[in-house]
């Protein structure tokens, strides 16, 4: 009898120990997952703040700003699960106020401003790629921003990428033309015209740049033709001079 009771106690103790270890492991995994989730949320807030601060370098639409604000609001709500987080409720209220203000009073300025340098262009393209990734992610996550508006914004950003690349290409062509690097210059012109044509966008700015590239192409072809004609004339002039010299020093005929 005593042995039976001892065995039962040992089995129960072992079972309780196993259950305790399992619960401890569950708690540890849950805490680790929570910390990871909160860290991702903090990174999301930081990245979104950086993108919002970039409005001076890129034309942001109302849709894009609302999407970023809702993204930040969602991240702050996840951070709120951290018992050590401070002033989260205040930050959440601030985001709600910002969203309300954007919905009520917001003036868009979507005019395209070409980048001032290659470095600025690279920074703009990197930011646009991030924004397009965010649009896809937020649509999948169920953003409260209208889906059709988000898809239109993605299309606008796609056009913006083409404009930045074409703006850089035109500047490059002008510089190469000045340096008389005709071969590379013509290749870039053909590439630029091909990109504009294949884009399918009926955009006034792009059409204007297509006209600029065509004019540059015409000017280069005209210069090449003029130079070729000058070479021919120079060669003919050299031949005439040589004939005169030959006649001057030719052996005189005896009469």
Which positions ≥6 away from 184 have C-beta within 8 Å? 176
Give residue-wise pLDDT tens across range 66-123: 999 999 999 999 998 888 788 899 999 999 999 999 999 888 888 888 888 888 899 9
pLDDT at 223: 80
In terms of Cα–Cα distance, which of 94, 95, 114 is closest to 165?
114
Give residue-wise pLDDT tens across range 171-187: 999 998 888 888 889 89
Low-confidence ranges of the chain (pLDDT < 70): 1-2, 5, 7, 26, 226-255
pLDDT at 131: 96
Within 10 angstroms of residue 19's Cβ, the number of other Cβ atoms is 10
Q: Estimate the crossing angle of helix 118-141 against helix 2-52, to 10 degrees.
A: 130
Write a three-state SS string for 31-99: HHHHHHHHHHHHHHHHHHHHHHHHHHCCCCCHHHHHHHHHHHHHHHHHHCCCCCCCCHHHHHHHHHHHH
For residues 42 and 72, give the distance between their C-alpha atoms in angstroms, rounded to a whole number: 9
3-state helix, strand, coil in the chain (%, to 5): 80, 0, 20
For residues 229 and 223, give the distance between their C-alpha atoms in angstroms, rounded to a whole number: 10
pLDDT at 238: 52
pTM above 0.85, yes or no: no
Residues 210-241 as b/e (b if ≥16 CB within 10 A, e otherwise) read bebbeebbeebeeeeeeeeeeeeeeeeeeeee
In terms of Cα–Cα distance, which of 101, 139, 99, 115 is closest to 54?
115
């Amino acid at each position: 009898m005593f042995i039976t009771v001892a065995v039962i106690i040992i089995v129960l103790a072992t079972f309780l120990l196993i259950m305790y270890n399992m619960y401890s492991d569950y708690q540890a995994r849950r805490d680790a997952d929570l910390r990871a989730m909160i860290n991702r949320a903090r990174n999301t807030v930081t990245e979104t703040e950086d993108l919002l601060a970039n409005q001076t370098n890129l034309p942001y639409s109302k849709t894009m700003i609302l999407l970023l604000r809702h993204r930040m609001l969602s991240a702050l709500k996840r951070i709120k699960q951290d018992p050590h987080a401070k002033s989260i409720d205040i930050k959440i209220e601030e985001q709600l106020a910002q969203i309300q203000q954007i919905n009520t009073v917001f003036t868009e300025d979507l005019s395209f401003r070409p980048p001032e340098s290659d470095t600025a262009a690279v920074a703009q393209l990197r930011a646009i790629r991030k924004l397009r990734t965010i649009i896809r992610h937020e649509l999948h996550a169920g953003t409260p921003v209208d889906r059709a508006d988000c898809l239109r914004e993605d299309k606008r950003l796609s056009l913006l990428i083409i404009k930045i690349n074409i703006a850089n290409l035109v500047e490059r062509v002008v510089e190469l033309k000045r340096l008389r690097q005709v071969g590379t210059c013509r290749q870039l012109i053909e590439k630029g015209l091909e990109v504009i044509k294949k884009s399918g966008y009926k955009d006034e700015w792009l059409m204007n740049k297509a006209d600029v590239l065509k004019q540059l192409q015409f000017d280069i072809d005209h210069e090449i033709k003029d130079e070729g004609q000058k070479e021919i004339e120079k060669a003919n002039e050299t031949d005439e001079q040589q004939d005169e010299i030959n006649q001057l020093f030719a052996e005189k005929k005896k009469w």
